[in-house]
Amino acid sequence: MDTRSSHLTAPGRSRSSQSISPSHSASASATSSIHKRKLASDDHAPPFPSSLSDTRDGALTSNDDLESISARGADSDTGDESEEVVDEEYDDSSMRKFTATRLENSNVSGPATAAARNKLKTENLVKIEPADVAKDSGINNNTNNNAANAAVSGAAGSATGIFTDNIQTGGAYSSREESLKREEEAGRLKFVCVSNDSVDEHMVWLIGLKNIFARQLPNMPREYIVRLIMDRNHKSVMVIRRNQVVGGITYRPYVSQKFGEIAFCAIMADEQVKGYGTRLMNHLKQHARDVDGLTHFLTYADNNAVGYFVKQGFTKEIFLDKERWHGYIKDYDGGILMECKIDPKLPYTDLSTMIRCQRQAIDEKIKELSNCHIVYPGIDFQKKEAGVPKLSIKVDDIPGLREAGWTPEQYGHSRFKTTNPSLDGASNQKSLTAFMRSLLKAMHDHPDAWPFKEPVDARDVPDYYVIIKDPIDLKTMSRRVESEQYYVTFEMFVADVRRMFSNAKTYNSPDTIYYKCATRVDAHFSSKVQAGLQSGIKIQP
Ligand SMILES: CC(=O)SCCNC(=O)CCNC(=O)[C@H](O)C(C)(C)COP(=O)(O)OP(=O)(O)OC[C@H]1O[C@@H](n2cnc3c(N)ncnc32)[C@H](O)[C@@H]1OP(=O)(O)O
């Protein structure tokens, strides 16, 4: 029997029963309203599963801090104390005592001790520096950007038309990552990886993180959260802003197995869905690969958080050899086991630069193959009545059309053709105009055409134009036909006719005379089109 697994099972525990954050579900309440949440059925289970108090390696029991740490602290996640989840089983005085004693010790210690502590601090704090990461990953931002920029401006210089740099620099992912990266570079934000190393500052951060987990993962026993955070086999990657913990991920690296188990992951309520969770995960991956030598992460994701983990590259399918992880990780009820492979090369903390370079390379390639980046001056397309252009513009004169591969044979792209193949484009257009004219007359002469002959008068039907945004009538269509410029295809004409009837059926209910007129004139129109087609007009399939 594998004794490891029996130690590690955490039955009946799910990290959170919380609703998805507001941006993910309109019906969800804010994540801070924990007190309203329905806790899972195991709420009345002992706060500390007996199986969890056991440890493989005695790391927890060697942890003298744990003796005095209660699972309750001064929660600072949302700052709203009224929302505190009160669990009378815990005594927070020991936590206060612990914190106070630590701070007191740090204040009274002499210079030698302070120097030693600072040394320890620097040694233990794994500060994740973006510059180093970029260097390690072989990405030199400046060089790459400059090269890409030079290529872009070269292409711009060689373009003959007016060149507009319409390259999008990035999507939401990249811009969030870039803005957080800038914050890091400016020193306003830092990502650190710490464990319980007795350094005062780290302990304060770990307690801050504990408070966030306790609030964001309300179904997780607080004792258990404290236990894992303070366990020296666990590490916590945290995002710190103005010396306050914004969120973090606590994980256990199984170095011999080359995988890590993410135990908890949370961002404080006010700061969710701003990109911190993604950046945190990217820092974690970079650190776990470069410092711990891990190749995979496994986690039991809460149902609500599966979407987040999927976006971080986690899958529900587990590819990692079961032998490598089975018996090592803890089971959680209500969670879904997910895996993420850590790429051996990706510059995780500088993905946005990589994406930008890739994007620029693709844009360069597109420019080599097409002219779509050249923007020509617009056409003065002022319209007079009935939407007919004031100026007659020859298609050939439209700037850029020929350069885009257009040929006069494609004029109108109409499927309308007379059966006489000898007719050229102009004669074909005349024949089309004659056919449309005859169809208009046929509709006009129909006894039920009276509602469609003129535009609807807003004085008679005040809300008509509120409901019908694209009105049309036989008179307007007649103007368009007679302009011989508007309906360059038969399909455009038919679209206007269909819209005229659908407008009538949208505004009027089926029992009205208008609705019935529309049905009858529409049928008449269709029969006339059929008759026209039989008598020599051809619409190509
Ligand atoms: C192993 C475990 O600990 S499971 C428990 C996970 N923790 C929780 O559920 C606690 C409450 N939630 C949180 O603390 C946070 O919302 C986290 C940690 C889940 C995500 O952190 P955030 O900072 O909000 O994530 P971030 O802003 O980087 O969002 C990244 C993407 O994931 C999406 N996302 C964030 N949270 C969720 C979610 N719960 N469900 C689905 N998608 C989500 C975001 O919309 C965003 O999508 P986009 O890139 O398409 O715009």
Q: What is the pLDDT of residues 357-384, one digit of tens each?
A: 999 999 999 999 988 888 888 777 676 6
**Which residues, at least 6 apart from 367, have a Cβ–Cβ distance to it below 8 Å?**
155, 373
Residue of 88, 261, 323, 339 marked catalytic = 261
Q: What is the average pLDDT across 341-349?
A: 97
DSSP H/E element including 516: helix 513-534
pLDDT at 442 over 70: yes
pLDDT in tens, 57-90: 333 333 333 333 333 333 445 444 333 333 333 3
Ligand 1 atom 9: residue of nearest CA = 305
Q: Which long-range contacts (CB under 8 A, 24 or more apart) does 473-480 make?
A: 473/500, 474/440, 474/443, 474/444, 474/449, 474/500, 476/386, 476/387, 477/386, 477/440, 478/440, 479/385, 479/386, 479/388, 480/386, 480/387, 480/388
State the average pLDDT for the chain.
Answer: 73
Chain mean position to CA 103 = 42
Q: Which long-range contacts (CB under 8 A, 24 or more apart) does 525-529 make?
A: 525/439, 525/442, 525/443, 525/497, 528/438, 528/439, 528/442, 528/443, 529/439, 529/494
Give the residue with greater pLDDT, 165 vs 488.
488
Tokens for 505, please give them.
């059926």
If one residue of 308, 312, 352 were mutated to test the ligand 1 pocket, choosing by the most ligand atoms within 8 A of its CB, it would be: 308
Tokens 């006894």 correspond to: 447
298-316 as b/e: b if 16+ CB within 10 A: bbbbbebbeebbeebbbee
Model confidence at 484, pLDDT cuts 50, 70, 90, reads confident
Closest atom of ligand 1 relative to the 309 alpha carbon: 32
Q: What is the average pLDDT across 178-188?
A: 95
305 CA → ligand 1 middle, Å: 6
Residue 267 has phi, psi (to 5 degrees) of -120, 145
pLDDT at 93 over 50: no
pLDDT at 172 over 70: yes
276 CA → ligand 1 middle, Å: 9
In angstroms, rounded to a whole number, what is the distance separating the alpha carbons of residues 385 and 401? 27
pLDDT at 9 over 80: no
* Selection from 198, 263, 268, 256 nearest residue 224 by Cα: 263
pLDDT (0 to 100) of residue 135: 36
Cβ atoms 381, 390 nearer than 8 A? no
pLDDT at 52 over 90: no
How would you classify residue 536: left for phi > 0, otherwise alpha for psi between -120 and 50, otherwise beta?
A: left
Residue 162 has phi, psi (to 5 degrees) of -80, 125
Model confidence at 428, pLDDT cuts 50, 70, 90, reads confident
pLDDT at 97 over 80: no
Domains identified in the chain and CATH numbers = 3-125+168-344 (3.40.630.30), 398-539 (1.20.920.10)
Ligand 1 — pocket residues by CB below 6 A? 15-16, 20-21, 23-24, 31, 172-173, 216-217, 262, 264-267, 272-278, 299, 301-302, 304-305, 307-308, 311
ipTM of this complex: 0.97
End-to-end, the C-alpha distance of the chain in Å comes to 73
Q: What is the average pLDDT across 277-290?
A: 98
Hey, what amino acid is at 530?
Answer: Q
274 CA → ligand 1 middle, Å: 9
pLDDT at 190 over 70: yes
pLDDT at 137 over 80: no
Model confidence at 162, pLDDT cuts 50, 70, 90, reads very low
pLDDT at 6 over 70: no
Hey, what amino acid is at 314?
Answer: F
**Which residues, at least 6 apart from 504, have a Cβ–Cβ distance to it below 8 Å?**
451, 452, 514, 515, 517, 518
Q: What is the average pLDDT across 497-522?
A: 97
In DSSP terms, 448 is beta-bridged to none
In angstroms, rounded to a whole number, what is the distance separating the alpha carbons of residues 289 and 293? 5
231 CA → ligand 1 middle, Å: 25
In angstroms, rounded to a whole number, what is the distance separating the alpha carbons of residues 416 and 434? 13
Q: DSSP letters of 394-430?
A: -GGGSTTTTTTT--GGGGGG--EEES-TT--HHHHHH
Q: Which long-range contacts (CB under 8 A, 24 or more apart) does 101-106 make?
A: 102/200, 102/203, 102/204, 103/200, 103/204, 105/200, 106/200
In angstroms, rounded to a whole number, what is the distance separating the alpha carbons of residues 145 and 107? 48
277 CA → ligand 1 middle, Å: 6
If one residue of 174, 178, 272 were mutated to test the ligand 1 pocket, choosing by the most ligand atoms within 8 A of its CB, it would be: 272
pLDDT (0 to 100) of residue 399: 85
In angstroms, rounded to a whole number, what is the distance separating the alpha carbons of residues 434 and 431? 5
Q: Answer yes or no: 261 catalytic.
A: yes
pLDDT (0 to 100) of residue 159: 35
pLDDT at 539 over 90: no
pLDDT in tens, 12-29: 445 554 333 333 333 333
Ligand 1 atom 19: residue of nearest CA = 305
Q: Nearest 5°: CA angle at 208, between 207 and 209? A: 90
Q: Cβ of 277: how many Cβ atoms within 10 Å? A: 22
In angstroms, rounded to a whole number, what is the distance separating the alpha carbons of residues 266 and 236? 11
Ligand 1 atom 14: residue of nearest CA = 266
pLDDT (0 to 100) of residue 182: 95
Cβ atoms 449, 521 nearer than 8 A? yes
Model confidence at 338, pLDDT cuts 50, 70, 90, reads very high
The DSSP bridge pattern shows strands 189-194 and 235-241 to be antiparallel
Tell me the Cα Rg of the chain: 35
Q: What share of the chain is helix, strand, coil (3-state, %, to 5)?
A: 50, 10, 40
